[in-house]
A and B are shown apart, each in its own frame.
Chain A
Amino acid sequence: MAKASKKTGTLTRTPEAKNKLTSVKTSIAKDSASKDKSGWKAKGNLTKQKTENLIDELDASLPRLIASISKNKEKLKRESGAFGVLSRPKNEEVMRRNEERQRTEDGLEDAMKLIAMQKSPTTEKGDPFLDQDTPSNRNHLIYTIPYAIVVVVRFRATGSAPILKQSIFKITASQRFQAVIGFLRKELALGPGDSLFLYINSAFAPAPDEVVATLFKQLGADRNFPPAPLSSTTHIARKQHE
């Protein structure tokens, strides 16, 4: 409960944020639901159950994850210079705070996956579409706060795409889809000549500048709408060698 009140404290600084906070909470709950293997039927009240599920899931893959996490930490340290290139101090600060909060909430597994995902903003030249940190945009920081939550992404290989060792990742919801592409390219160690195709729910390929949170919402993970048939944002990747 202490955690929860801490969360409230950060987010209710402005009265307008209050409404958003509710949506943040629902979103987080939804996020939890996505971990539920039965799909989207379960809503809310899942934080505890989720953690348990996670721990169960984790048991099997823990040693490998720990190994990869320490590797990623090293990488992150090396790349911290590149991180600064993003030059978005305020947003970054907010994001980091949110990520930390998420970490305490969701425990070890999340922390590790978050760090794994953190590689994504630093891919090559950084996320090209996060250039939107203009002064006018900063006034609208309130909109970016709710999106500093996390979306669970499940990659499914098709065609000649190699199967990923780990298929479920988390990504900050405010990221552009470009970050997912960049992350996966890195994860699959694709060269510039390899092409990678990403579809959402086997249905369509979004533009790289679309925001992950928006795509997530499109799947119908809203209480007013029927749940999406597939659990979580499912991407299908295909790799083609030139």
Chain B
Amino acid sequence: MNDEVDTEITRQVWSGRVPLTIRLADADGGSEEEALNVLALRCAYLPLYMPLIRAHFAAIRSRSEAELAAEWWFSWRGIPLKWHYPIGLLHDLFTHSSLPSSAASKQDPTNPWRITLHFSAFPADKIFRSLPTPTLANDPPRDFYMNSLKESDFIRNMSVKKTMSLSKPDQTLLWDTLAESAGASTDSDLQRSHAKLVELHDTFWSVDAKLMMGNVAAAAVESDETSVGTGGLAGGNHLCRSVAVRCYSGWDKPLFQELISPKNSSGADVTLLEALRILAPDLIPAASTSNDMEGTHEDGSLLDTVKLISHGVEIPLDTPIAWLARHFSYPDNFLHLVLCIS
């Protein structure tokens, strides 16, 4: 069956890391020697590393942690980093998309990724602080994550039933596992770190599979019982309404997001290239837009210029989008792709 998950791949995706070098901004009294090196999980979010980072700078600067607990934000070459993007996505965005001239300098490379931590002058006009949602735990990243989960669920199934029907422990487990993984990734014993990450990955997937994988079974049940609701899609061979995919063409450009059915009308898998044509029809040369064929041969020149990157990997354009969504989705169950046109 092609709807099984290759755990080896999801484990690799889960434990993918980006080397970060974090230094404190000059305005906050930072200096070169104090920089903190972290191997950060691509799937994790910057706020998950804040306890570690805060402890590091508090120890060095002999400042109280409370003093450093104020609003914080990261920047790279002067560009504020969105904390609600996974670290891997941020890294892919800045490594592979064109940069503004102001940030095109050679300093602060992306490998290791040298980012700056700020404790003052929060750029409220560039990044937002928290979601306007009731914060039970008063934990904006967690709230944001839960809402992203629901949003991706909605895109896939047109309802958030799957997310909402998770038990409370299961719901909290998802974010907690991610947070724990972020902690485990900083373990200096790489072997122990890896083992722990694999374990956490399995824990995460034991719950996440209910969100990601229930589609096949649910679709079968629905067609059997002819229940009304999200099922009953044309042809009956759709696993879900759409894959949850976001395509970024640059750090400063609006992202592309369309509903993309995992199967086309004739029941064949939709490939990444076909998905790309739906996502960004204007970026694909006009000649190939109307071309519904596989396109790998005719569009040789196109394929040379278009690259799609996720988790730091260039993805072959003939990959079925459903397979990609199952294996390469971030923990928020969105497939985040960075589009790079040379």
User: Which residues of A are in contact with B by a Cβ distance under 8 Å?
Assistant: 15-16, 19-20, 125-126, 128-129, 131-132, 134-137, 140, 142-144, 147, 174, 178, 181, 195-198, 200-201, 203-209, 211, 214, 217-218, 220, 222, 224-226, 228-229, 238, 240
Contact = CB atoms under 8 A, between A and B. Distances in A.
Contacts of B217: none
B274 interface: no
Contacts of B158: 220, 226, 228-229
Interface string B79-101: 00010100000000000001010
A197 to B, nearest CB: 5
Nearest to A15: B286
A225 B259 contact: yes
A208 B253 contact: no
Given A19-B281, A131-B125, A218-B154, A136 B131 contact: no
A153 to B, nearest CB: 15
Contacts of B166: none
Given A134-B252, A136-B98, A142-B282, A198 B132 contact: yes
A208 B132 contact: yes
Q: Which of B155, B158, B250 has most A Cβ within 10 Å?
A: B158
A132 B254 contact: yes
B289 interface: yes
Given A128-B124, A128-B126, A131-B125, A208 B254 contact: no
A174 to B, nearest CB: 8
Contacts of B148: 207
24 contacts: A16-B282, A16-B286, A20-B281, A125-B124, A131-B126, A134-B252, A136-B250, A137-B252, A143-B254, A178-B128, A197-B133, A200-B154, A203-B154, A207-B144, A207-B147, A207-B148, A208-B132, A209-B128, A214-B255, A217-B259, A220-B259, A222-B259, A224-B259, A228-B158
Contacts of B126: 128-129, 131
Interface residues of B, number: 42
B150 interface: yes
Per CB-CB distance, the 7 closest pairs between chain A and chain B, nearest first, are A204-B150, A128-B125, A203-B160, A205-B133, A204-B151, A214-B257, A205-B147
Given A132-B253, A204-B147, A220-B259, 16 more contacts: A19-B286, A20-B281, A134-B100, A135-B100, A136-B250, A137-B250, A143-B253, A174-B254, A195-B134, A203-B151, A204-B151, A206-B151, A207-B128, A211-B254, A222-B258, A228-B158
Nearest to B242: A225
Contact of A128 (B128, B255, B281): B128
Contact of B252 (A136, A222, A238): A136
A224 B261 CA distance: 9
Contacts of A197: 132-134
A207 B131 contact: yes
Contacts of B82: 209
B100 A203 contact: no
Interface in B131-177: 131-134, 143-144, 147-148, 150-151, 153-155, 158-160
Contacts of B98: 136
B220 to A, nearest CB: 18
Contacts of B17: none
Contacts of A140: 249, 253
B257 A218 contact: yes
